[in-house]
Amino acid sequence: MKFNSQYFRGKWDKLGGEKERVRYEQIDSFLHRWQPKSILDLGCGDGVLNRRMTYDGFTSFLGVDYAEVSVKMAQKQHFPKADFETHDLLHFTPKDIYDVIILNEAFYYIHDSERTRVLNNILSGLHENGILIVSIFREGATCWEYFKENPKLKEEAFEVVHSTVDDTYWKVGAYSQV
């Protein structure tokens, strides 16, 4: 699987750099706003969000990624109150109910034909008053409609954040359940 060798070779080390900082900060700001006790981070990579997060009011954090190399890298950092597990989002149904679920630059890797099913599975693990946070690079063609036009979701916040390094930007949305 390409992500394993890419994490092994350091291809994704760049996510921890200054260029991408703003999108983690926006997610962190949403966490401060909604104050979740439990957080599920899907497609968590090697734990850059945990390194960037200043929000500390949670009691549990589960990071899930199908690249076991990245999961091991995250586990080795011993982030407080955080566990990391290897699962493929195509076959993953949360075992617990979470106050916040995060899809941080992960949803576009799910094939279009699987997105509705995978999103429904994910939402089965979201508390009825919970918040789904989604970050997508630039325009996110064929992705945002799954959130913005979803009758089960209501958009609570939507921000466009610009890198301070170049002209890259990300869109970060927060959704409650209807």
Ligand X SMILES: C[S@@+](CC[C@H](N)C(=O)[O-])C[C@H]1O[C@@H](n2cnc3c(N)ncnc32)[C@H](O)[C@@H]1O
Residue 147: closest CA among 110, 94, 97: 110
Distance CA 129, CA 100 (A): 9
Kindly tell me which residue out of 99, 105, 133, 175 binds ligand X, with binding defined by CB under 6 A: 105
Q: Which is nearer to ligand X, 143 or 154 (CB)?
A: 143
Q: Are strands 126-137 and 169-177 parallel, antiparallel or unpaired?
A: antiparallel
Give the HSE-up count for residue 143: Cα atoms under 13 Å, Cβ half-sphere. 21
Residue 171: closest CA among 162, 156, 160, 155: 160
Kindly tell me which residue out of 30, 34, 61, 66 binds ligand X, with binding defined by CB under 6 A: 66
Q: Which is nearer to ligand X, 154 or 162 (CB)?
A: 162
Q: Which stretch binds ligand X (CB under 6 A): 44-52, 126-134, 144-152, 156-164?
A: 44-52
Q: How far is the CB of 17 from ligand X (least distance, A)?
A: 11
Q: How far is the CB of 178 from ligand X (least distance, A)?
A: 26
Residue 92: closest CA among 42, 135, 126: 42
| Contact status: 8 vs ligand X (CB under 6 A) | no
| Contact status: 90 vs ligand X (CB under 6 A) | yes
* Interface residue list for ligand X (CB under 6 A): 3, 15, 43-45, 48-49, 65-67, 70, 88-90, 104-106, 109
